[in-house]
Amino acid sequence: MTPSERPRRLNLQQRSVLAGEAAAASAEVETALSTPSDTAAAAFFDVDNTIMQGASIFHLARGLHRRQFFTTREIASAAWKQAYFRVVGVEDPEHVAEARSSALSFIAGHTTTELEELTEEIFDEAMAHRIWPGTRALAQLHLDEGQRVWLVTAAPIEIAAVIARRLGLTGAMGTVAEHVDGVYTGRLVGDLLHGPAKAEAIKALAAREGLDLALCSAYSDSSNDLPMLELVGDPCAINPDARLRAHARAQGWRVRDYRTGRKAARAGLTAAAVAGAVSGAVAAGLGVRAARRPNDA
């Protein structure tokens, strides 16, 4: 690492830690509602393509688009740009960081209450029927054993909290948007809860709740979540991408695939490049709206 690279990398790590700590803190209200009999073990579930088919941020974006939060042209333009970078493999890390940092800027000026109410509506419209029954059953097994179950996702905490509440889970940790007096500023607290940030969130929550990570379980579809999966004693790959499937088999981890054979094969070839691009692009597209005047079409 050169001297010029060190400050930037350190800054990225600091943002991951901040995002993880903010996500863990946001789970406090939910955990207060549960009374687990097993206080040492817990389970952590990714959301997109793990507990829900597709990307939750995409479903939220589509619902907000129907409510005229932004235009079709804005979201399509951002989607194409992100998909191109991912498919051809020349994605600029700084460009990605900028896109991620603007992922929630579309809600600037809106209240937390407004977004929570809309998310409840959009969950019923577009998300409830997309929950994977197999993954839901795994989460219920942990609950039945007296363990707490948290969602851990890069999606906004508002989405994650609704999903967790509707499924009867303990709580959720997700990307936290800054807000002052109940009004969103359009900035993130730290960074997206993605990759290493998820592991930081789990470590912060485990320290606060007295969890033994060696007794905990984690579930994800993506190799991006290896930091989270490798943190616990019982990792499981759900609907895995090709890299995660290979890693899980090499490590002797459990693997569960609830997709059809055709969907699983297609996902193994293209999900990381295209499906991930679409969900990331939606987030970038949402940020475009914040740069416009409120009455722009």
By mean pLDDT, which of 32-46, 61-75, 283-297 is the weakest?
283-297
Rounded Cα distance between 271 and 201, Å, is 25
Torsion, Cα of 31, 151, 176, 200 (10° steps): 90
Average pLDDT, integer, range 57-76:
74
Average pLDDT, integer, range 129-135:
95
Give the per-residue pLDDT at 268.
Answer: 43
Average pLDDT, integer, range 118-145:
94
The architecture in CATH of the region 14-290 reads 3-Layer(aba) Sandwich (3.40)
Rounded Cα distance between 72 and 233, Å, is 44
Q: Which of the four pLDDT bands, split at 50, 70 and 90, describes residue 26?
A: low
**Single-letter residue type at 248:** A
Over residues 193-222, the pLDDT tens digits come to: 888 999 999 999 999 999 999 999 999 999
Q: 92-100 long-range contacts, Cβ below 8 Å, gap at least 24?
A: 96/280, 97/12, 97/191, 99/280, 99/283, 99/284, 99/287, 100/188, 100/191, 100/192, 100/194, 100/280, 100/283
All structural domains of the chain with their residue ranges: 14-290
What is the bridge-based pairing of β-strands 234-238 and 217-220? parallel
Q: Could you give the residue numbers annotated as active site?
A: 46, 48
Q: Inform me whether the pLDDT recorded for 69 exceeds 90.
A: no
Higher per-residue pLDDT: 147 or 110: 147
